[in-house]
Chain A
Amino acid sequence: MVAQAGGEVAILIESDIVSARRAVRESASAIGFGLTDVTRIVTAASELARNVFKYGGSGVMRWKFLRDGIELAFVDEGPGIADIEMALTQGFTTGGGLGMGLPGAKRLMDEMVIESSPGLGTTVIVRKWKKV
């Protein structure tokens, strides 16, 4: 395989969101996702990377190729999410945004796993599978 099997992008400043998007676009395209799916994955990554920056302060995005898809992990050591179910509700926000980042990203991807402990940070893992 020519493409790298994985990598990471540190999210420390706001423009790192763009770097995360570019890394995801490149890797998702490299393993053969079509333009619409690439756009879905990149847009989800943009929402989740912004959450890392906005709520977590800083963190990292890791991506890796799966057998038939891609996995992205967004890890921060911020205050954590008090109520994950609420956070997944469309329109709910604690940050003055539109409240569509997390639920929207979930709809754009095939799988989403959220692990969060108050005070210890948040990890959001999303996966997208290639349709055969």
Chain B
Amino acid sequence: MINESISVIKVRDVLMVAMPGDPDDATVAALQEKTLLAMEQHEVRGLILDLSKVDTLDSYFARTVTETAAMVTLMGGDTIIAGMRPAVAITATQLGLDLGVTRTALSVDVALEMACFQPGQVGP
């Protein structure tokens, strides 16, 4: 099985992490470590998790996302989950997923705006 890769890009003061569409558990687990290491390395203030390519968000994947957000908080950062597709949002809610207090945005575009221009949050 080909391990789909996770791309982590630094934009201004935030990290953008794009999740692949259909990752295996190992790839999902790698998300956490890769993201936290990048946080430290680039000294960014927050993280945008781009889920726009994700077409299956099961409980394992969702738990890793919320855990990662909690870990980012511990490191002093802020997380925005962006771009969840309608079918995924419907399914996730019926499955019983709870993303907790994690902030969300319709798209990466909106998330970047939230991250860069909201005083007291991520960004200047």
A interface list, Cβ under 8 A from B: 14-15, 17-19, 21-22, 25, 35-36, 38-40, 42-43, 46-47, 50, 90, 97-98, 100-101, 103-105, 107-108
- B23 nearest in chain A by CB position: A18
A100, B94: Cβ atoms closer than 8 Å: no
**Inter-subunit contact B91/A36 (CB<8 Å):** yes
**Mostly helix, strand, loop or mixed at chain A's interface?**
helix
Give the number of residues in B that approach A within 8 Å (Cβ atoms): 23
Majority secondary structure, B binding face: helix
Residues of B that sit less than 8 Å from A by CB: 1, 22-26, 55-60, 63, 86-88, 90-92, 94-97
B59 touches A98 (CB 8 A): yes
Taking the nearest CB of chain B, how far is it from the CB of A70, in angstroms?
16
A43 in contact with B91 (CB, 8 Å): yes
Q: Which B-chain residue is minimally distant from A42 (CB atoms)?
A: B56
**A17, B16: Cα distance in complex, Å:** 27
